[in-house]
Structure 1
Amino acid sequence: MHERLVDRNPVVPADQLVGQLVPPAMFDEVSFASYIPDPAEPSQAAAVKAAEEFVGKVAKIRGGKRGLFGRKAPAQGAGLYLDGGFGVGKTHLLASIFHSAPAPKAFGTFVELTHVVGALGFNKAVEELSTHSVLCIDEFELDDPGDTMLISRLLTELSARGVSIVATSNTLPGQLGEGRFAAQDFLREIKKLASIFETIRVDGPDYRHRDLPPAPEPIDSEELIERADEVSGATLDDFDELCDHLSTLHPSRYGKLVEGVPAVFINGVHPARDQSVALRLVVFADRLYDASIPVTVAGARLDEIFTPEMLAGGYRKKYLRATSRLLALSRFEVAAG
């Protein structure tokens, strides 16, 4: 009997949530020095310089100035926004900022941050994070007006208390939510949020696709099962059952779901049936990628999960990033063979 992801129901205790806000293991050793800018893309070298300068601002702000009676005068936190396509090294730079900044500090995806606020409550989250020198937010994509207002308010509060904020995304702050929600209050919140950040553009081709072959053809079910048998501790799931299981878990728990899994095998892959399923698969793909877990599938190819209609909509960049990451993981499995 194979292990299955659908049999796992991970839980993260509330008191451990902030402590777990650190970069994925694959970014443990990265630094500004290990980021190799593409000579053909001058914005990359400029982004490294801006990120290093940002760390200097963070340290200075956190050092603070002494006011009357020796108290530290409150200082506004700095803000940096790394914008660019997927696969240009934005997360590498974000993790490098985290490693270089003074403790305490936090690093998490936008989804993880909303979960922390939801689990702790707004005031407790502000209290816990307000002592931090910097809050690093990866995959900053606002898909829900409620989440937008919540995080906008959180970042405004933290920035006023001297916490610096750095974020990465594929969408400029003023364009967050574009093509999705047009509510006036949503747009107003986005504008307020954008004022916190200095925006730095990072251009370049997706490094995961440089000199790599196209998506591998899926294998048949029998071969999938045989390959899963060869990897101790690997999971084997039916695609629809896995999608249903993901719907029962908050996306912030997906990382815990795949923790310790050496390889993931999925049978019966086909195009996602609707947008909600597709968006959960995006977060799932991100957590697999963070953990460098090889993926092998039977059924449709991994670049067919998101339909042409989905790729033409407001979440296009998310779906393309997820496809890029899944293909990288599938090649990793094939290469490991």
Structure 2
Amino acid sequence: MRTQADRLVDRHPALDRTRLLDDLVPPPRFSEARLSTYRPDPAQPSQIEARDHVGRFSSAGALTAPRRGLGRLLGRVQEDPEPRGLYLDGGFGVGKTHLLAAAWHEAAGRKHYGTFVEYTQLAGALGFRGAVDALRGADLVCIDEFELDDPGDTVLMARLLRELADSGARLAATSNTLPGSLGSDRFAAEDFLREIQALGRLFEVVTVDGDDYRHRGAPPTPEPAAPADLAALAGRPGATVDDFADLCAHLATVHPSRYGALLDGVTEVGWSGVAPVPDQNVALRLVVLADRMYDRALPLTAGGEPLSALFDEAMLRGGYRKKYLRALSRLTALAREAGSVAA
């Protein structure tokens, strides 16, 4: 009989450079994502149009232009019938990641798929030149959740993408427009194209409008779990239960590139004593963990304060607000999934 719950704080995964490359595939939640399984909202024609754009893009095949440098590549881009790059712009939960994963699954050739953070972590582990050499030769490179809030990382990714485009890779990316910033107030696409500068001409921007499907017609946000719920979770194989403050402290000792490995073999996650995070550093680590949990579809049983209290108003108005709003959307969805598991 189990006498103590498994805990994430007892895990200390080591950096595995080979795994960083092997993991550049769509995560388990999107392992079966295909265009045929995308469910557009009938009230949002842009979602149907985006699916069709992705279909044309993923079936276009590898670049056929001679690989004679980025200048030649950019100079010829308007002659090509299909876009060399695709940028999916929209709010949270409109299916951009599903469409990006479907493009990866349905495209031919050598291909890589990762989040913006995973590519920057790869460059940190291998060095910039090492990352370029590892990715060079790909026919398609997909970047989910392209981020513009860290100038250094943005410049790094722009350089990396320029190198890969110069070698003949096609590029596909997603990013988020803040809820309430759609239509004439949309800035994400313009910011993206400006920040990647010369590469901007490679991309066709496709807008994906709509509401967050994770909460479309969903039941109310679950109430915080009772101690009995966490005790029951602790007795299930593959489940981990951690004190929230202890977990946040532990995350500071694990490089974010290893958060996926931290969750190896886990099927459900429990947090006791959830409370507002104390500062931005803790909050940003929690965002990365939330993304890795969501990728792996790990139901979350959370006790203490409501998940909506994790990030204070100053954080939700600050420069990382898109990350925090995405994390809240995903954690809430995982909490609902925990409720369905318990039921």
SS at match of 1:314: coil
SS at match of 1:33: helix
Q: Which amino acid aligns with 2:21?
A: V
Between 203-212 and 241-250, report the one with greater CA deviation.
Answer: 241-250
- Pairing 1:52-201 to 2, within 5 Å after superposition: 52-57=55-60, 59-61=61-63, 64=64, 76=73, 78-171=84-177, 172-175=188-191, 189-201=195-207
SS at match of 1:17: helix
Find the aligned partners of 1:282 and 1:211 in 2 and give their Cα distance.
25
Fraction of identical pairs, as percent:
51
The count of aligned residue pairs is 318
Q: Which amino acid aligns with 2:159?
A: R
The residue number in structure 2 matching 1:44 is 47
The residue number in structure 2 matching 1:305 is 310
For residues 82-114 of structure 1, what are the alpha-carbon distances to aligned partners after superposition, in whole Å with 9 as ceiling and x for unaligned?
A: 011111110110011101112311000111101
Displacement of 1:51: 0.9
The residue number in structure 2 matching 1:223 is 228
For residues 254-288 of structure 1, what are the alpha-carbon distances to aligned partners after superposition, in whole Å with 9 as ceiling and x for unaligned?
A: 11111211111111111111122112111111111
Q: Does the aligned pair in 2 maintain the 1:231–1:262 contact within 8 Å?
A: no
TM normalised by structure 2 equals: 0.87
Find the aligned partners of 2:28 and 2:13 in 1 and give their Cα distance.
19
Q: Are residue 5 (structure 1) and residue 8 (structure 2) matched?
A: yes
The residue number in structure 2 matching 1:18 is 21
Find the aligned partners of 1:191 and 1:206 in 2 and give their Cα distance.
30
SS at match of 1:168: strand
TM normalised by structure 1 equals: 0.88
The residue number in structure 2 matching 1:251 is 256
Find the aligned partners of 1:55 and 1:225 in 2 and give their Cα distance.
44
Displacement of 1:143: 2.8
Q: Does the aligned pair in 1 maintain the 2:267–2:298 contact within 8 Å?
A: yes
Displacement of 1:120: 1.5
Find the aligned partners of 2:88 and 2:194 in 1 and give their Cα distance.
21
Runs of 4 or more consecutive aligned structure 1 residues displaced over 4 Å after TM superposition: 72-75, 187-190
For residues 176-197 of structure 1, what are the alpha-carbon distances to aligned partners after superposition, in whole Å with 9 as ceiling and x for unaligned?
A: 5xxxxxxxxxx97444454442
For residues 99-147 of structure 1, what are the alpha-carbon distances to aligned partners after superposition, in whole Å with 9 as ceiling and x for unaligned?
A: 1112311000111101111111222221221211111111111332221
Q: Which amino acid aligns with 2:48?
A: A
Q: Does the aligned pair in 2 maintain the 1:219–1:299 contact within 8 Å?
A: yes
Find the aligned partners of 2:318 and 2:204 in 1 and give their Cα distance.
27
CA RMSD of aligned residues (A): 2.1
Find the aligned partners of 1:192 and 1:165 in 2 and give their Cα distance.
14
The residue number in structure 1 matching 2:182 is none
Select which of 200, 211, 218 maps to 1:212. Answer: 218
Query: In 2 relative to 1, CA 284–118 (structure 1 residues): closer, same or farther, beyond 3 Å?
Result: same
Q: Does the aligned pair in 2 maintain the 1:174–1:191 contact within 8 Å?
A: no
The residue number in structure 1 matching 2:183 is none
Displacement of 1:9: 1.4
SS at match of 2:21: coil
Find the aligned partners of 2:124 and 2:213 in 1 and give their Cα distance.
35
- Gapped runs of 5+ residues in structure 2? 78-83, 178-187
Find the aligned partners of 1:271 and 1:133 in 2 and give their Cα distance.
43
Query: In 2 relative to 1, CA 35–225 (structure 1 residues): closer, same or farther, beyond 3 Å?
Result: closer
Query: In 2 relative to 1, CA 146–245 (structure 1 residues): closer, same or farther, beyond 3 Å?
Result: same
Query: In 2 relative to 1, CA 225–336 (structure 1 residues): closer, same or farther, beyond 3 Å?
Result: closer
Q: Are residue 269 (structure 1) and residue 285 (structure 2) matched?
A: no
Q: Are residue 285 (structure 1) and residue 290 (structure 2) matched?
A: yes
- Gapped runs of 5+ residues in structure 1? 177-186
Q: Does the aligned pair in 1 maintain the 2:115–2:146 contact within 8 Å?
A: yes
For residues 50-93 of structure 1, what are the alpha-carbon distances to aligned partners after superposition, in whole Å with 9 as ceiling and x for unaligned?
A: 11121233x141xx36x7xxxx7678491111011111110110
Displacement of 1:19: 2.2
The residue number in structure 1 matching 2:184 is none
